[in-house]
A = this chain, B = another copy of it.
Amino acid sequence: MRKKLIVQKYGGTSVGNVERIEAVAQRIISYAKRGDKVVVVVSAMGDTTDELIELSRKINPRPEEREMDMLISTGEQISSALLAMAIHKKGFEAISFTGPQVGIITDTYHTKAKILKIETRRIKHELEDGKIVIIAGFQGISTKSEITTLGRGGSDLSAVALAVSLHADRCEIYTDVDGIYTADPRIITNAKKLKYITFDEILELAARGAQVMHTRAVEVGKKFNMPIYVRSSFSQKEGTIIMDKTPLIEQSMVRGVALTENEAKVTVCDVPDKPGIAAQIFTKLASQNINIDMIVQNVSHKKMTDISFTVPKDSLAKAIKISNRIATSIGAGSIVSDESVAKVSVVGVGMKSQSGVAARCFSALAKNKINIEMISTSEISISCVVAKSTGKEALKVLHKEFGLDKMKE
């Protein structure tokens, strides 16, 4: 068997205490033992980052972002050093690095920096030297020599970017769930774990509200075609491989369903039905950083139409305020909003080539007396807004309709 170069990332719960750090060390060593070269990316232990943020808020409710990065980047430095010590204890060679130290170069946007480049010289040198290389995730050094952090989910991003830069054979993300499921197993108890999923599908699922992996890391994986293997650090179970194309045998049409209750619906009533009006409304909302998801314009009978859209609930007040102003200026009617909505989505790259998925969605929901308020489709997904009280039921109906509960892993 050819020796591999593997990048592994362990999340905060995976290194949450002394025993878990020791278990992670043991797992890493099992790879090193069979001759693989291993680069490990670690998050901060458990709630360390949140605790540091809380401490800073006590001192300054609005801390400067540069200082925030100085502060919170320590969490990963601590877990990296401890993991190196745990590996040493078991008689293997390891060396830890901070992101800045090893040369993870980012832009200058503190607390949400983007990785520009990764220096691999030092890492390669240590790997050649037979060492397991441990790198503090979530952090880097800006082009202005400042410590930066990459935002939430940043350690996943560090791992995938490192795997790409090092031309690793694969990138493994160890977390507290054992893979990616056809639906949230807390809602759909017979949800099945997927063996494979494509980059596009997981990005679509995440965009539709599934709490899977952070999208930035998946986007980098997709861009450079780096397979990402998601699995649990608490078991030896097989996880899910996120890749460009899944093996043929798995080509079921729909690969997963997602539910979100975090959006609200806004309707601008009696909008004059003239070209350019919709553009005016959404340009204005976008310029105020309001993230619009679905947009539906009703077929117009008269000279008037209703335009509905969904926004994250925490932007609702702002969206209503802006919509009211726009309505006045364009001569539209009142603004109606509804927070009691849920959005269900089905996602699958197979939908591209197969017709009838939308129709099956609608009739399955109808058969179960679930009323659809809004519909939106993309190349690989269909989303429906329904009353919040019917959201979970809608998810179950769709999960069953497309045979996800009977899917063989």
Contacts and interface: CB of A to CB of B under 8 A. Distances in A.
B145 A58 contact: no
B88 A64 contact: yes
B80 A70 contact: yes
A96 B70 contact: yes
Interface residues of A, number: 35
A78 B80 CA distance: 16
A371 interface: no
A60 interface: yes
Contacts of A68: 81
A70 B52 contact: no
A77 interface: yes
B89 A81 contact: no
Q: Which residue, of A58, A70, A80, A88, has the highest number of chain B Cβ atoms within 10 A?
A: A70
Contact of A81 (B70, B100, B101): B70
A4 to B, nearest CB: 26
Nearest to A96: B70
A401 B86 CA distance: 57
A81 B67 contact: yes
Given A21-B59, A59-B89, A74-B77, A64 B84 contact: yes
Contacts of A145: 101
A56 interface: yes
Main secondary structure on A side of the interface with B: helix
Contact of A71 (B52, B58, B82): B82
Given A52-B78, A145-B101, A147-B101, A59 B71 contact: no
Interface string A288-314: 000000000000000000000000000
A63 interface: yes
A71 B60 contact: no
A14 to B, nearest CB: 15
Interface in A72-97: 73-74, 77-78, 80-82, 84-86, 88-89, 95-96
Interface string A93-126: 0011010110000000000000000000000000
Interface of A: 18, 21-22, 52, 55-56, 58-60, 63-64, 66-68, 70-71, 73-74, 77-78, 80-82, 84-86, 88-89, 95-96, 98, 100-101, 145, 147
